[in-house]
Amino acid sequence: MAETAETDLKKTPLHALHVELGAKMVPFAGYDMPVQYPTGILKEHLHTRAAAGMFDVSHMGQAFLAGADPARALERLTPADVAGLGEGRQRYALLLNARGTIKDDFMVARLVGEAALYLVVNAAMKDNDFTYIAGQLMGQATLTPRPDRALLALQGPKAETALARLAPEAASLSFMQIARMDVAGRPAIVGRTGYTGEDGYEISMAAEDAEAIARALLDEPEVLPIGLGARDSLRLEAGLCLYGHDIDETTDPVEASLVWSIGKRRKIEKDFPAAEKIMNEVLNGAARKRVGLRPEGKAPAREGTEIADKTGRIIGRITSGGFAPTLNAPVAMGYVETAFADDGTEVDLMVRGKPMPARVVAMPFVPNGYKRK
């Protein structure tokens, strides 16, 4: 597939601000996005772990799903318990195809006093996702994409301190709660969530308010702008999947170690795509499983690296790998035959044709900092 020409790249409402801040811009999911700022990826990563980082995630897809019972309708396409989602709550969910493999992962929320569900999907998949959801639920629910909205993530242990000065109500939210409130005097949807493993928020607002809110956040002493480079290393340390790499339409929820995202009621009712197949794997195991890996030494093993057992037989492949700044060591995740998925299992990573010792470990690699009640 030909790469998107630079002139064809879309821009988020914060593009001019990124350039003003000296960001290095790169093509990502069809957008011109900041990969890092002059601070540098390493310092951006560590600052997010220690204080608070602001990320532009406006390239992601936002939409509202309305209808007589949009939650029950959406459950035709996901194994998450959407109908049981309380007001002011949000949930991680998987969008499945008819085979039960993963078309995307997304967030679904039920805002207080609102009938429509609020969805956030991945940037690279949003057009496909929205077409699929609208088509599959035609006559039952109506999907309204909102490309007129921007999205910011504020992540880190001091995110609450910084945001509470601009939106005092934000401090009362706990992990996975969501509410409408004003941020720096502008209306927004604020959820206590994110994809770094840290405490933090995602803030949705009208595109025309994005720069004002972003500048207000950056004026707070705890906050630095953070690019895609650190966003990726942070989510890897947190053991979180990147769609198109760790999960895709060749993987199902059991293989991906995402069984926790299947609602208890849904397991019993078995009324989601390929439910019988997936529940059989839940009970009896899948042929392979996503695991965390800690290579020995300092050399990282990148995506595509083959994983071998100690006899040299190839048993899997790395899907995400790199250097973990918080640990000052390399980490990776990938798929191995289930017989080799237990924590502590010793394997070899085939780096440039040479075996590099590693062991299977539990994820997350860095403990999460979510604020739960």
Q: So where are the chain's domains?
A: 6-57+148-237, 61-145, 287-361
CB atoms within 10 A of CB 159: 30
Dihedral (C-alpha) 74, 276, 239, 225: value to the nearest 10 degrees? -10
Cα–Cα distance list, 130 to 60, 64, 104, 134, 251 (Å): 12, 10, 11, 6, 21
What is this structure's pTM?
0.96
Check pLDDT > 80 for residue 2: no
How far is residue 267 CA from its own chain's centroid?
24
For domain 6-57+148-237, which CATH number applies: 3.90.1150.10, 1.20.120.430, 3.30.1360.120, 3.30.750.24? 3.30.1360.120
Cα–Cα distance list, 346 to 82, 318, 358 (Å): 39, 15, 6
- Tell me what the mean pLDDT of segment 137-160 comes to: 98
d(CA 176, CA 173): 8
Amino acid sitting at position 353: G
What does the buried/exposed string (b/e) look like for 306-316 if buried means 16 or more CB atoms within 10 Å of the residue's CB? bbbbeeeeebb
pLDDT band at residue 3, thresholds of 50, 70 and 90? very low
Q: Bridge-partner residues for 183, per DSSP?
A: 186
| 275 close to 263: Cβ distance less than 8 angstroms | no
Check pLDDT > 70 for residue 246: yes
Residue 157, preceding bond cis, omega within 30 degrees? no
In Å, the largest CA–CA distance within the chain is: 63
Quick one: tokens of 54? 């602001």
Quick one: tokens of 348? 């070899």
pLDDT digits (tens, 9 = 90+) for 171-220: 999 999 999 999 999 999 999 999 999 999 999 999 999 999 999 999 99
pLDDT at 7: 65
What is the topology classification, in CATH, of domain 61-145? Alpha-Beta Plaits (3.30.70)
What value does the CA radius of gyration of the chain take, rounded to a whole number of Å?
21
Mean pLDDT, all residues of the chain: 97
The CATH superfamily label for domain 287-361 reads: Aminomethyltransferase beta-barrel domains (2.40.30.110)
Check pLDDT > 70 for residue 5: no
- Tell me what the mean pLDDT of segment 55-69 comes to: 98
Amino acid sitting at position 216: A
| 302 close to 319: Cβ distance less than 8 angstroms | no
